[in-house]
Homo-oligomer: A and B are copies of this chain.
Amino acid sequence: MEPTRIGVIGSGQVGRALAAGFAAHDHEVTIGTRAPAENDDLQSWAAQHAGVAIGTFAAAAEAGEIVVLATRGTAVEEAIRTAGADRFAGKLVIDATNPLAPDPATGGPSLAVGHTDSGGEIVQRAIPDARVVKAFNTVNAGLMVDPGLPDGPHPMFIAGDDEGAKATVADILSDFGWKAFDVGGIERARELESFVVLWVAIGQRRGAWDHAFTLVTPSGVATG
């Protein structure tokens, strides 16, 4: 994709991986954090990543032609309010979050929402004039950009209501070493987020976190 301006809301592992990835692929990135001046750790990190500026959530949302949501899933609505919901209007918004909430009954992973609603739908309702695409939420931060997986590219499952927005995300994913697999409207975030519960359960069993779901057929990896 042609270089553009990217805003990333959230500066944890996922936000940093995607900010670095977009910068490495020649985009101009603003990574947003709640209190930029106080975030020494993020400043050290950004100093090592050319093309990434630090700002508030509002500054990142304002700067981006494309805005990436990369906060904790249960914090994303509040992050949108802090950034200013109006700043997302008309933009492509990539929702990489998962509404993970530990299950007190099992101590294991679970989701705060599911089955008949999802984090992706909550985000789309919070910014109805944005074109939301769920993507990147099913893989580890370390695999999001240039994953180096054998027999690739592998499918990255995406969902959203705007076909043009999904085509743009497909271009980005192609640059990042993935092949977008469009599974439908934003309501399919229900299942894409459900993946993550298994992903965590599988990581707990493996003691390793570099796994990604993919699709196999008798003739090889399926990407379309």
Total copies of the chain: 2
Query: Can you list 20 pairs linking A and B with CB atoms under 8 Å apart?
Result: A106-B185, A114-B116, A115-B116, A149-B216, A150-B216, A150-B218, A151-B216, A183-B201, A184-B201, A191-B194, A191-B197, A191-B198, A191-B201, A194-B194, A202-B222, A206-B222, A208-B217, A210-B217, A213-B213, A213-B214
Tell me how many residues of A have a C-beta within 8 Å of chain B.
46
Question: Contact string, A173-199, partner B, CB cutoff 8 A, digits 1/0?
Answer: 000000001111101101110110110
**A111's closest neighbor in chain B, by CB?**
B115
- Return the contact of A216 from the options B182, B211, B218 (Cβ within 8 A): B211
* A12 interface hit (Cβ, 8 Å): no
A74 → chain B closest CB, angstroms? 15
